[in-house]
A = this chain, B = another copy of it.
Amino acid sequence: MTRARDARWPGALGVLGEVRRTPGVTRAEAARRLGLGSGSATEITARLRALNLLDEVPAPVVGRGRPTTCLRPHPEGPLVAVVEVRYEGWRCALSAIDGRPSTVVARRHGHRDARKVVREIAAALGDLRRRHGHRLRAVSVSVAGAVRHGRLVQATTIGWDAVDLSEILPDDSVPLLIGNDATLAGLAEARGGAAVGAGTVLHLTVEVGLGGVLVVGGLPVTGASGAGGEYGHLPFGDRSRRCLCGALGCWDNEVDGRALARHLDAPPPDDPYAYALEVLARTDRDDEAADAVRRVARALASGIAGLVNAHDPEVVTLGGLAPLIRAAAEAEFDAAYLDGLMTFRRADPIPLRPAALGEDGALIGAAAAGLDLVLSETGLNDWVAELEQSTDRQL
């Protein structure tokens, strides 16, 4: 039975892609978008159904004509476990091939002991593996820190040093992906959020520091080792200030709660995100707060303008505190943005849009990254091989 080894996936990848892009597409619509004949559509969907990859249910009737079916993830189909590690806690979710993660476990942590958190997550993932067996095809982790070669190398936000997150899985029988939270959120915005359809998307998010990613053609530009998108460590800021990351003049330090605290002559806040929210909330009655927010807004907007000059995105999506900062000091923000643009861009400036997926962006992006792997040629070959083994076992 070497057939499966050689299996190629012409057409099938396209159909699965349509299901991901538009969960619940009808078979007819998917075929139309892919330019497939009805014959090919029949064959492809039949094969995918036989492989437990797709399920077809009668579509709601809309007009006359023979009713078609809706394509959905198969109830016994592959799953991706997604984990989000944040400042204040972590959560774990499961996603079928439609890329819609549903939360399974969420827990707060004291963010002191990285090893303890790793053990907790490992337990949750072990549970999922026991429950879903071979259906669990990948684990995709979003983490608030710099990631390199699948390892967390710097997480000043959480207060962790380099942590080897590969220990959340006992072995490498399931592929493990580690991604930066801002990168994954940007991926999600580009694929199915505020920037759907745009070819080049710049996503920037301010939480503690600033992160982001450039997404080109639906793929994040993550660089050679996966550490791309650390826009917060561009030297847009004060060159005499050393960042926690080790570099000088990082933008990171000019746009978040720590910057607000400095402008207000307050001590560095314990939780800069909460602090920023608090300052933002009182700008209408506190002139000093409003002034600090204006300074931060200018620093943020002029940097964004520079990145627009450099990258020429079709749209910029803003996550985390960024839309709030803009809203709180819109005039200063927009003026600084325009002032930082090259002249030829001023007539029709690139739109800055608030992120559409909010808190779930990173989780959805992690699911997308995991599914990219599972629904690739090799991923599907593995799935088929596993499927044949398990049917062999049953015979």
B residues near A148, Cβ cutoff 8 Å: 312, 344
Interface segment among A64-72, A97-105, A214-222, A358-366: the answer is A214-222
Q: How far is the CA of A228 from the CA of B202 in the complex (A)?
A: 12
Bitwise interface map of A from 357 to 383 toward B, beta carbon under 8 Å scored 1, else 0: 000000000000000000000000000
CB proximity of A367 to chain B, nearest CB, Å: 23
Q: How far is the CA of A1 from the CA of B245 in the complex (A)?
A: 64
CB proximity of A114 to chain B, nearest CB, Å: 16
Q: How far is the CA of A157 from the CA of B54 in the complex (A)?
A: 57
Tell me the chain A residues, 277-315 only, with Cβ under 8 Å from chain B: 302-303, 305-307, 309-314
Given contacts A312-B228, A344-B162, contact A248 B302 (CB under 8 A): yes
Number of A residues, CB within 8 Å of B: 50
A342-B223 in contact (CB<8A): no
Bitwise interface map of A from 130 to 164 toward B, beta carbon under 8 Å scored 1, else 0: 00000000000000001010000110000000100
B235-A303 in contact (CB<8A): yes
* Copies per assembly: 2
Chain B residue at minimal CB-CB distance from A233: B309
Q: How far is the CA of A340 from the CA of B249 in the complex (A)?
A: 8
B residues near A346, Cβ cutoff 8 Å: 246
Bitwise interface map of A from 233 to 248 toward B, beta carbon under 8 Å scored 1, else 0: 1111001000001111
Q: How far is the CA of A249 from the CA of B239 in the complex (A)?
A: 13
A342-B310 in contact (CB<8A): no
- Which residue of B162, B223, B339 is within 8 Å of A313 (Cβ)? B223
Q: Does A87 contact B (CB under 8 A)?
A: no
Interface centre among A221, A236, A248, A312 (most CB of B within 10 A): A312
A312-B344 in contact (CB<8A): no
B224-A214 in contact (CB<8A): no
A340-B302 in contact (CB<8A): no
B228-A200 in contact (CB<8A): yes
Q: How far is the CA of A100 from the CA of B47 in the complex (A)?
A: 47
Chain B residue at minimal CB-CB distance from A246: B343
- Which residue of B247, B311, B313, B314 is within 8 Å of A341 (Cβ)? B247
- Which residue of B198, B226, B339 is within 8 Å of A248 (Cβ)? B339
B residues near A339, Cβ cutoff 8 Å: 247-248
Given contacts A153-B344, A154-B343, A310-B230, contact A224 B199 (CB under 8 A): yes
Q: Does A2 contact B (CB under 8 A)?
A: no
Q: Does A227 contact B (CB under 8 A)?
A: yes
Chain B residue at minimal CB-CB distance from A228: B312
B residues near A312, Cβ cutoff 8 Å: 148, 222-230
Q: Does A231 contact B (CB under 8 A)?
A: yes
Question: Can you list 28 A-B contacts with CB-CB less than 8 angstroms, sorted by A residue number?
Answer: A146-B342, A146-B344, A148-B312, A148-B344, A153-B344, A154-B344, A162-B344, A198-B224, A216-B216, A221-B311, A222-B312, A223-B314, A224-B313, A224-B314, A229-B310, A230-B310, A230-B342, A234-B234, A234-B306, A234-B307, A234-B309, A235-B303, A236-B236, A239-B302, A247-B305, A247-B306, A247-B309, A248-B339
The interface of chain A, by Cβ under 8 A from chain B, is: 146, 148, 153-154, 162, 198-200, 214, 216, 221-231, 233-236, 239, 245-249, 302-303, 305-307, 309-314, 339-344, 346, 350
